[in-house]
Amino acid sequence: MPWPEKRPRLRFATQALLVQVAVLLLIMGSGFGLVAYLLHAELEKQYEQRALAVARSVAADEQIIQHVAAHDRSNSVQRRAEAARRRTGVLFVVVADDHGIRYSHPDATRLGQRVSTEPEALNGHEVVTFERGTLGLSARGKVPLITGAGRVVGQVSVGIAAGEVSRRVGDLMRAAAGFTGLALALGVVAAAGLARRLKRQTLGLEPADLSDLLREREAVLHGIDEGVLAIDPAGRITICNDAAARLIGDSPAQGSSVADAGLPPGLRTLLADRTSARGVLVATEERMLVVAAAPVRRGDQDLGHVLTMRDRTDLDAMARELDVVRALSDALRAQAHEYTNRLHTLSGLLSLGHREEAITYLRELADDPLATEYGDGGRLRDPYIRGLLAAKTAVASECGVDLRLSADSFVPAQLRAPLDVVTILGNLVDNATAAAQAGARRPAWVEVSLLAEADILHLVVVDSGDGVPPEAADRLFDQDYTTAADDARPHGVGLALARRLTRRHCGELSLTRPSGADCGAVFVARLPGAIDPPAGPGTACEPGPDSRSPFSALPSGGAP
338 or 73: whose pLDDT is higher?
Answer: 73
In the DSSP assignment, the letter for residue 122 is G
What confidence score (pLDDT) does residue 544 get?
36
| Highest averaged pLDDT of the listed ranges 141-145, 161-165, 212-216 | 141-145
The residue-averaged pLDDT of 233-237 equals 83
Least confident span in 118-132, 477-491, 515-529: 477-491
Going by pLDDT thresholds of 50, 70 and 90, the confidence category of residue 170 is confident
Least confident span in 14-28, 98-112, 426-440: 14-28
What confidence score (pLDDT) does residue 485 get?
53
- Dihedral sign from CA coordinates of 507, 512, 518, 520: positive
pLDDT in tens, 442-457: 999 999 999 999 899 9
Going by pLDDT thresholds of 50, 70 and 90, the confidence category of residue 522 is very high
Least confident span in 140-149, 158-167, 459-468: 158-167
The residue-averaged pLDDT of 1-29 equals 68
Distance CA 44, CA 139 (A): 7
Partners of residue 155 on adjacent β-strands: 96, 144
In the DSSP assignment, the letter for residue 161 is E
Distance CA 555, CA 551 (A): 9
pLDDT in tens, 177-188: 777 778 778 877
Distance CA 383, CA 551 (A): 8
Distance CA 94, CA 84 (A): 11
pLDDT in tens, 547-556: 333 223 223 3
State the CATH architecture for 316-547: 2-Layer Sandwich (3.30)
| Highest averaged pLDDT of the listed ranges 107-121, 177-191, 223-237 | 107-121
Question: Helix 383-398 vs helix 313-351: angle between axes, to the nearest 10 degrees?
Answer: 70
Residue 436 pLDDT exceeds 80:
yes
Distance CA 479, CA 263 (A): 14
Where are the extended beta strands (E) located within 45-176? 92-97, 127-133, 136-146, 152-161
Distance CA 197, CA 191 (A): 10
**Per-domain residue ranges of the chain:** 14-168, 224-311, 316-547
What confidence score (pLDDT) does residue 545 get?
35
12 or 477: whose pLDDT is higher?
Answer: 477
> Rounded mean pLDDT of the chain?
77
92 or 226: whose pLDDT is higher?
Answer: 92
Residue 224 pLDDT exceeds 80:
no
- Dihedral sign from CA coordinates of 150, 152, 156, 162: positive
Percent of the chain clearing pLDDT 90 (strictly above): 9
Percent of the chain clearing pLDDT 70 (strictly above): 78
| CATH class (in words) of the domain with range 14-168 | alpha beta
Domains 14-168 and 224-311 share a fold: yes
Cβ 323 vs Cβ 422: under 8 Å:
yes
In the DSSP assignment, the letter for residue 534 is P
Count Cβ neighbours within 10 Å for each residue of 375-399 and write b for 16 or more, e otherwise.
bbebbbbbbbbbbbbbbbbbbbbee
What confidence score (pLDDT) does residue 429 get?
92
Going by pLDDT thresholds of 50, 70 and 90, the confidence category of residue 538 is very low
Cβ 525 vs Cβ 535: under 8 Å:
no
* Residue 67 Cα distances to 114, 135, 144, 312, 529, angstroms: 17, 25, 14, 118, 125
Tell me the three state secondary structure of residue 212: helix
Distance CA 385, CA 435 (A): 22
pLDDT in tens, 344-403: 787 887 888 878 888 887 776 665 544 445 544 467 888 888 878 877 887 888 889 999
| Highest averaged pLDDT of the listed ranges 388-402, 429-443, 478-492 | 429-443
Tell me the three state secondary structure of residue 266: helix
Residue 424 pLDDT exceeds 80:
yes
Q: Which CATH number fits domain 224-311: 3.30.450.20, 3.30.830.10, 3.90.650.10, 3.40.50.300?
A: 3.30.450.20
Distance CA 319, CA 309 (A): 19
What confidence score (pLDDT) does residue 377 get?
45
What confidence score (pLDDT) does residue 222 get?
61
pLDDT in tens, 81-91: 888 888 888 88
Q: In what order do the strands lie in the sheet with 136-146?
A: 92-97, 152-161, 136-146, 127-133
